[in-house]
């Protein structure tokens, strides 16, 4: 490729104007071009994010910059024959793995879309993720965002740093099974309403579910959790919103906490659906005093934003 014959300062200017998706496509031309991009192009980043939109049957990989994110690639399970796109079939060699796919470009933006067949759609996204993280010098830790109702739709990934589920409804049994077979090393955010087997039942996950091992956990619709689930939480920060917890449940937790249990727990926030908790009823059994911020503020830092952020 003639670009490699130009002085490095010219190459850098070209790389800066191509955009990340253009650099990714350019890196596939040859090993020499890939090495040149790696050695000359550096951008500050907090990592990559992989998104799976099950409703549209599309996936994306984003480069997370310090102030904005940039889409690097799009993939689909089947390469759509839509206009205005120009398509071709090619073989990609990502490290030691060879995958076949259809490649199309949006004629307006030049953004690439890869179409994988049923033999590759499970493995190809993670291969591309690792390739891009190496190309742009980002962490290979996987941050994953999805709205799927079936975890069988996910690529072959067993370990996530951060996992964010933003769907509308999800079966509690499927959620429980997912966390039994996958590891979340940092943070999980579960936004959907969790359906139980019985409309009027709770406790649709096991008492000591692996969901409760996640270090930083936010459950937006905590209707399916019972007090025994809360007592089994083994992480350090948790937010359970719109729960069906009762005043007596909170009393039980406080008594165990004061007795020395939950030594790993730094922050816990529980809100109740419909009617709020009754603080006077809960604290009546405990020897309490007004909070003195001047004396104890350093020990009571609100870390809820730490739980809510996937990039912490």
pLDDT of residue 204 exceeding 70, the answer is: no
| Sole residue written with tokens 């955009």 | 19
User: For a pLDDT cut of 70, what percent of the chain falls above it?
Assistant: 84
Helix (H) or strand (E) holding 135: helix 124-135
Helix/strand/coil for 74? strand
Give residue 108's pLDDT: 77
* 148-169 pLDDT per residue, tens: 888 888 888 999 999 999 888 8
| 202 CB-near residues (< 8 Å, 6+ apart) | 196, 223, 224, 225, 226, 244
Read off the tokens for 232: 């089994």
Question: Taking the complete model, does pTM exceed 0.95, yes or no?
Answer: no
Least confident window among 66-70, 184-188, 211-215, 228-232: 66-70
């Amino acid at each position: 490729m003639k670009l490699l014959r130009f002085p490095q300062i010219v190459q850098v200017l070209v790389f800066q104007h191509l955009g990340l998706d253009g650099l990714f496509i350019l890196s596939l031309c040859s090993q020499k071009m890939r090495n040149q991009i790696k050695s000359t192009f550096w951008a500050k980043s907090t990592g990559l994010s992989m998104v799976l939109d099950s409703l549209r049957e599309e996936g994306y990989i984003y480069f997370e910059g310090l102030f904005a994110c940039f889409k690097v690639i799009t993939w689909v399970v089947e390469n759509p024959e839509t206009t205005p796109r120009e398509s071709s079939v090619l073989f990609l060699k990502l490290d030691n793995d060879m995958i076949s796919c259809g490649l199309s470009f949006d004629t307006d933006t030049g953004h690439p879309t890869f179409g994988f067949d049923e033999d590759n759609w499970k493995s190809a996204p993670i291969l591309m993720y690792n390739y891009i993280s190496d190309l742009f010098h980002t962490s290979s830790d996987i941050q994953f965002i999805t709205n799927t109702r079936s975890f069988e739709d996910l690529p072959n990934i067993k370990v996530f740093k951060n996992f964010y589920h933003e769907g509308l409804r999800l079966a509690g049994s499927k959620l429980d099974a997912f966390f039994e077979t996958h590891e979340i090393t940092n943070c999980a955010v579960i936004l959907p309403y969790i359906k139980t087997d019985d409309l009027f039942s709770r406790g649709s996950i096991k008492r000591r579910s692996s969901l409760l091992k996640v270090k930083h956990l936010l459950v937006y619709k905590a209707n399916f959790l019972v007090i025994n689930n809360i007592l089994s939480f083994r992480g350090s920060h948790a937010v359970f919103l719109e729960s069906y917890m009762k005043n007596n449940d909170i009393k039980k937790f406080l008594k165990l906490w004061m007795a020395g249990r939950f030594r790993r727990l730094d922050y816990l926030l529980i809100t109740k659906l419909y009617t709020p908790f009754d603080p006077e009823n809960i604290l009546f059994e405990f020897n309490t005093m007004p909070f003195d911020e001047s004396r104890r503020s350093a020990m009571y830092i609100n870390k809820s934003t730490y739980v809510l952020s996937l990039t912490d």
